[in-house]
Amino acid sequence: MTDLVHLTPFQDTTEHRTVWQLLGTEAELSPYNWFGPQPDRTFKLGDNDLFVVVSDGPDAGTLVGSVSWHTERYGPNVESSCWNFGINLLTEYRGRGYGCVAQRLLADHLFATTDVNRVEASTDVANVAEQRSLEKAGFVREGVLRGAQYRHDQHHDMVVYSRLRAG
Ligand SMILES: CC(C)(COP(=O)(O)OP(=O)(O)OC[C@H]1O[C@@H](n2cnc3c(N)ncnc32)[C@H](O)[C@@H]1OP(=O)(O)O)[C@@H](O)C(=O)NCCC(=O)NCCS
């Protein structure tokens, strides 16, 4: 069965640059990932970003969001590093199950293409949609990182979720 969405690398095209620009605007971010204008944000054709693309139906081929990831380290050796990722969908495409599938596919992709034992994501304790989406994607809730993220002039508690290679 085809997944609702698939993930595709950034390409240097007008469409990709336009959607990427849009995804960085306050209107297309949520209160949970808007940190104010980011003048240093640059379009990168690297290994740590993928677009989320609708696979089927009338919206097939539409870029509906993006995922990105970075290394998190829990010790000085390479075996103690893992991936921490973020996701943002365009507002009109939220709540259709795309985020859940995208996050499941991203973890599958990172386990398949790298040696990490752990893929994690954290989100504001108030971001119920992301927590539910991560749980549907097979992530396990681990706990609360108190006062971890600074946004809108105050620190916020974050819930951390993970998937391990062994399941
Ligand atoms: C968070 C996000 C990735 C989720 O993806 P999505 O495609 O919109 O969500 P999904 O359809 O996969 O799942 C959302 C689930 O949360 C539920 N949900 C949504 N809002 C909710 C709310 N306020 N309270 C309770 N449940 C809620 C939905 O009903 C759905 O669960 P269900 O399938 O059991 O009905 C997407 O909405 C998004 O990009 N939001 C803005 C950016 C963001 O918050 N990124 C996350 C980290 S900062």
Domains in the chain, number: 1
- Considering the chain, what is the average pLDDT of its residues? 96
The answer to whether residue 167 scores a pLDDT higher than 90 is: no
In a domain, 66, yes or no: yes
Residue 49 lies inside a defined structural domain of this protein: yes
- Whether residue 59 is contained in a domain is answered as yes
Q: Where are the alpha helices (DSSP H) in the chain?
A: 14-23, 98-113, 128-136
Q: What local confidence, expressed as pLDDT, does residue 81 receive?
A: 98
* Residue 145: inside a domain: no
Could you tell me the residue range of the domain that residue 72 belongs to? 5-121
CA distance 72 to 139: 17
pLDDT above 80 for 41 = yes
Whose C-alpha lies nearest to ligand 1, atom 16?
Answer: 129
Instruction: CATH number of the domain at 80, please.
Output: 3.40.630.30
The alpha carbon of 19 and the centre of ligand 1 are apart by a number of angstroms equal to 20
The response to whether residue 100 sits with its C-beta less than 6 Å from ligand 1 reads yes
At residue 47 the predicted structure's pLDDT band, cuts being 50, 70 and 90, is confident
In a domain, 139, yes or no: no
Domain membership of residue 64 (yes or no) is yes
Q: Which of 7, 63, 132, 159 to mutate to test the pocket of ligand 1 (most atoms within 8 A of CB)?
A: 132
Confidence of residue 129 (pLDDT cuts 50, 70, 90): very high
Q: Cα 148–139–42 angle (5° rounding)? A: 55
Inside any domain, residue 140: no
